[in-house]
Amino acid sequence: MSAGLWITVEGGDGTGKTTQSRLLADWLTGQGRTVVHTREPGGTEVGRLIRDIVLHHRGDIVPRAEALLYAADRAHHVATVVRPALERGEVVLQDRYLDSSVVYQGAGRVLDAAEVRNLSLWATEGALPDVTVLLDLDEQVARERLDSADKPFDRLEAAGESFHTRVRRAYLELAAAEPDRFLVVDAAAPVAEIAEVIRTRVAERLS
C-alpha cells in the first residue's frame, strides 16, 4: 500500500497508549522522520464528530450502529490522512485502528468478530498497518490506573469488568494469529523499558 511506514498502537484503556505514542513520535522525529501522529476515532474533522457520538453520547447506541460509526470514521480517515501520508513516504503513527473494533465491538459487544473486521477492511479497501504495538496489561491494574486519573469515564471505559476481560483476551488472540504484524509488550514494565522495546521493533522495520 505504501512507501512509508504505518504503525498502530493498541491496548485496553489505561495501558499507556498515549504516553508510548508520544515517546515514539518524539524518537522518530529525532531520527529525521516526518511523522503523522493521528488517532481513531477523531483523526479528521468528520472523525471528531463521530468520536463525540461513540464516546460521549448520553443515550444508548446499539452495537451494530456503533460498529458502523467506527467503520465510517475509518474509511474517511484512511482515505484522507493515512494513505496520502504513506504515499509521501512518511511515518503514520496511529492510536487505534480496526483491531480496536474487532475486540471492542466484536468481543466486547458480542458481535461477530470476523464480520466487524471485514466491515473495516471493506471500508478501507483492505488497508492493514505494517506494525501493531499491543500494550498488554491486567484489566484490574488498568482499571486502577483509570480510577487514579480522576476524570470522567467515556462510554467504553465505563463498561463493566467482564467487558474489559473479553477485550483483553481478544487482543491477545489477535496478536497470536498475526505475530508478524503484532508486537506484544508488557504494559506493567517501566515506561522507558517499554519505549525501548517498541523503538527496537520499529527500527528493524525502518531499516
pLDDT digit string, tens, across residues 45-71: 999 999 899 888 777 889 899 899 999
Cβ proximity of 21 and 54 under 8 Å: no
| Residue 179 exposed, middle or buried by CB count within 10 Å (0-12, 13-18, 19+) | exposed
Neighbours of 81 (CB within 10 A): 18
Q: What are phi and psi of 28, to 5 degrees?
A: -60, -40
Q: Return d(Cα 98, Cα 126) in angstroms, integer.
A: 11
Query: For the domain 5-206, what is the CATH superfamily, name and number?
Result: P-loop containing nucleotide triphosphate hydrolases (3.40.50.300)
Q: What are the residue ranges spanned by the domains of the chain?
A: 5-206
Provide the residue-wise pLDDT of the chain in tens; the chain has 207 residues: 457 999 999 998 889 999 999 999 999 999 999 999 999 999 999 999 998 998 887 778 898 998 999 999 999 999 999 999 999 999 999 999 999 999 988 887 778 999 999 999 999 999 999 999 999 998 888 777 766 666 655 555 555 677 778 889 999 999 999 999 999 999 999 999 999 999 999 999 998
Please give the pLDDT value at position 148: 67
pLDDT at 113: 92
CA distances from 34 to 68, 149, 172, 199 (A): 32, 32, 31, 16
DSSP secondary structure letter of residue 149 = T
Q: State the pLDDT at residue 156.
A: 56
